[in-house]
């Protein structure tokens, strides 16, 4: 067997935030990996100090990870492209990268959001911008700082062709970061986008000190809403009980590191969305996704009262204190078959 045939695929990861950097550091343990960071100072810090202090503090990254602020340099020789930029810049960054990218290479999204206006998933954008490139998603209950610290975690990689998912699985997994495979790209993408909206709802309750019972109730009923819309959009029902569904929902709704939960907490404490964003210095995808989710639900005739309450607070000025009052006024029906909350 020749050296060429045994060479591991090189990976380019676009996005120097917390999750893009974390995945890049993980991949760098397995194969040659280049991270594109928009800020040259961030790229320089990763190369010289092996940290990304803005997003991950002083946590040490893989010393074999290389970073650059030159997009063309990052992607020119890549065998796999991983997109870790926010959903609202996904299309523009991909279009910029397209002219430097080799044909037909797989593209994996790390993004848990939906595009404003078009309401498209990230893999649908890939298909529009780069037709012919296999497009998939990596998602799960993954708190970036914990993975960099080496705590055990798991995720699912979904590609339309399962053999491609199996090949990519080896690039992302380590002894403590378990990566499972799937072909349900739609279900995993929808779960990733919706769980952020529900984490805001959980944050409302935590900010109002509604208690553990309320938190459990909201998370459980949120999973029901997620599965209903995800199935209506073509996802496989079993996906929503897995890592990218229930697993990610639990992590995002309960972790103190969750940006979307922190948005809900801040709003419940009387802050504005802009104030919470400024304090965090990072994107919370659920803020943008809330209105998009409601439009998708309306198109498919899916009742989503918890998501509707988040949308009412984020986009229509409803006081947070009214959120749980509105939900509790609804008459409960059959837990599985009923339409009511």
Active-site positions read 195
Which letter, b or e, does each residue of 52-70 get, where b requires 16 or more Cβ atoms within 10 Å of its Cβ? Answer: bebbbeebebbeebbbbbe
User: Rounded distance, CA 79 to CA 203, Å?
Assistant: 40
- What one-character DSSP code corresponds to residue 228? H
Using a CB cutoff of 8 Å and minimum separation of 24, what contacts does 237-240 make?
239/182, 239/184, 239/187, 239/188, 239/191, 240/187, 240/191
User: Rounded distance, CA 76 to CA 10, Å?
Assistant: 10
- Quote helix, strand, coil % in the chain, to nearest 5: 55, 10, 35
* Residue closest to 240 by CA, chosen among 308, 125, 231: 231
Within 10 angstroms of residue 128's Cβ, the number of other Cβ atoms is 13
Within 10 angstroms of residue 143's Cβ, the number of other Cβ atoms is 19
User: Rounded distance, CA 247 to CA 142, Å?
Assistant: 9
Helix (H, G, I), strand (E, B) or coil at 179: strand
Task: Give the H/E segment covering residue 155.
Answer: strand 153-158
Structure tokens at 84: 């870790």
Round the CA-based radius of gyration of the chain to a whole number and report it.
Answer: 20
């Amino acid at each position: 067997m020749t050296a060429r045939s045994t060479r591991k695929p090189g990976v380019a990861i676009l996005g120097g935030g917390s999750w893009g950097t974390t995945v890049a550091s993980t991949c760098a343990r397995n194969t040659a990996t280049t991270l594109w960071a928009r800020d040259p100072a961030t790229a320089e810090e990763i190369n010289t100090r092996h940290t990304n202090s803005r997003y991950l503090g002083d946590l040490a990254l893989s010393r074999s990870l290389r970073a650059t602020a030159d997009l063309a340099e990052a992607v020119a020789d890549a065998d796999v492209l991983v997109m870790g930029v926010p959903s609202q810049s996904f299309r523009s960054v991909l279009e910029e990268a397209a002219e430097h990218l080799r044909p037909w290479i797989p593209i994996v999204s790390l993004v848990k959001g939906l595009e404003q206006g078009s309401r498209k998933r990230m893999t649908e954008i890939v298909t529009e911008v780069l037709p012919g490139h296999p497009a998939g998603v990596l998602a799960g209950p993954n708190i970036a700082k914990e993975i960099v610290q080496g705590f055990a975690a798991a995720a699912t990689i979904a590609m339309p062709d399962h053999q491609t998912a199996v090949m990519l699985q080896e690039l992302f997994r380590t002894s403590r970061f378990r990566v499972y495979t799937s072909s349900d790209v739609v279900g995993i993408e929808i779960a990733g986008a919706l769980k952020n909206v529900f984490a805001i709802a959980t944050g409302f309750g935590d900010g109002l000190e509604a208690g553990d019972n309320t938190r459990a109730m909201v998370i459980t009923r949120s999973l029901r809403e997620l599965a209903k819309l995800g199935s209506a959009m073509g996802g496989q029902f079993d996906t929503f009980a897995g890592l990218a569904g229930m697993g990610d929902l639990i992590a995002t709704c309960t972790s103190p590191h969750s940006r979307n939960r922190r948005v809900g907490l801040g709003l419940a404490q009387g802050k504005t969305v802009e104030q919470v964003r400024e304090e965090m210095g990072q994107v919370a995808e659920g803020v943008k996704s809330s209105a998009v989710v409601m439009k998708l639900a309306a198109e498919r005739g899916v009742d989503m009262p918890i998501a509707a309450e988040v949308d009412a607070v984020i986009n229509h000025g409803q006081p947070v204190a009214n959120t749980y009052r509105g939900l509790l006024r609804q008459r409960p029906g059959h837990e599985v078959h009923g339409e009511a909350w």
